[in-house]
Chain A
């Protein structure tokens, strides 16, 4: 249990740093940006209570806000996303298959379900962030391209991360 928590904290730190140092500066076609830190919220264990989810989500958003000078923006979006996490998960995964200690991944959900789940989460997060961000300077076409491009980019990165951890686990076995 302690090992899982430590692993999780390590992963969270790595992803937040990667977001701040690398992915915030990696802009494709002047519109798409990968928000990889939502992978932390995506893979939080299923047995975690909603209160726990909300707190972790809010804190991660706050740290990202501090690093990227977007006071309140990511903490607001992360709180909403972690509140919606469980309902979205149950949308694609039948409720009766739950085993304790399980976390959403390609291995536990199957490839197609995980793809749908990750894509929905990315789409929701990018929609919230870019809509709030563009309230002051509204431009529909730019907003939609940013949401579309960033959702795809984020989804691809998240899928890649999960595939990587999958292949690493298979090697161990």
Chain B
């Protein structure tokens, strides 16, 4: 017995080394980012406090660029509103009746404004931390956009902070389509340049031009359809395969992210419950159909 204890004491540094290595590897190889524990991420209380303190100072640094982006976006939206108002008046003239105005509570999407307090672009798996959490109604798997386009999807939520899987993270795939074209593929980051991503799984017959806008498809409940994501930069692969991919220049500048909006889909729960009940029914039906 004594010899065993002595053996352990003599080799304690090796045992401790192996213990720490195992512990780190367990954390490292938990590849699904949705399983990360809140305390082990930048959305934890201490880390998010430190980051919001430092961002109180650094958030002023990119104000000029942000303001320019906002002004540009504002002008675009203004033009869109005017065009839509014109169209609405035209329809009202032809139908001679007011279309009922949708009350706020029934609107499909709401937006919560949040400030980015931590952000990375150089790592192979990038995350963004924001200063809003469950107290503001944010929950996992909500979409996040900024004034230029898509930023990412919420994954770990603390009371007053949340961690977002950035678009610059290979774990995140976004369903997108080419505007005015309706062919859709999935956008994923290839880990090389934070300014570019790859739109994959496009059918071979897709028609595109350089400079075409890529927007969200709206096939998931996370993002509304038509949110801009990027511009087509160039063709990326040989045409031998059935599917091909495009190099996309991202519209959001991830190195100067400052203010973002979290998309709240009022129907998300409903869509999810319908999907789940359908899946359940299918599962229940399976054994009976096999019995018949």
Contacts and interface: CB of A to CB of B under 8 A. Distances in A.
Contacts of A21: 50-51, 54
A80 interface: yes
A66 B44 contact: yes
Nearest to A70: B123
Nearest to A73: B28
Given A51-B16, A72-B28, A66 B39 contact: yes
Given A17-B50, A137-B190, A139-B192, A83 B23 contact: no
Given A58-B20, A76-B24, A134 B124 contact: yes
A66 B25 CA distance: 15
B261 interface: no
A20 B190 contact: no
Nearest to B127: A69
A79 B20 contact: yes
Given A71-B28, A133-B124, A137-B191, A66 B20 contact: no
A140 interface: no
B42 interface: yes
A66 B124 contact: no
Nearest to B194: A30
B40 A75 contact: no
B280 interface: no
Contacts of B40: 65-66, 71
Interface in B121-139: 121-125, 127, 129
Contacts of B163: 69
A144 interface: no
Contact of B47 (A20, A50, A71): A20
Contacts of A165: none
A160 interface: no
Interface in B144-201: 163, 170, 190-193
Given A21-B50, A137-B190, A71 B42 contact: no
A23 B82 CA distance: 46
A66 B47 contact: yes
Contacts of B118: 67
Most chain-B CB neighbours within 10 Å: which of A20, A69, A72, A73? A69
A33 interface: yes
Contacts of A70: 123, 125
B236 to A, nearest CB: 15
A4 B13 CA distance: 24
Given A24-B120, A69-B163, A137-B190, A51 B13 contact: yes
Given A71-B28, A73-B24, 13 more contacts: A20-B50, A33-B122, A54-B17, A57-B20, A58-B23, A65-B40, A66-B47, A67-B42, A69-B120, A69-B127, A70-B125, A71-B27, A132-B28
Interface of A: 17, 20-21, 24-25, 27, 30-31, 33, 49-51, 54-55, 57-58, 61, 65-73, 75-76, 79-80, 83, 132-134, 136-137, 139, 142
Interface of B: 12-13, 16-17, 20-21, 23-30, 36, 39-42, 44, 46-47, 50-51, 54, 118-125, 127, 129, 163, 170, 190-193
12 contacts: A20-B51, A21-B51, A30-B193, A33-B122, A66-B44, A66-B47, A71-B41, A73-B28, A79-B24, A136-B124, A136-B191, A137-B191
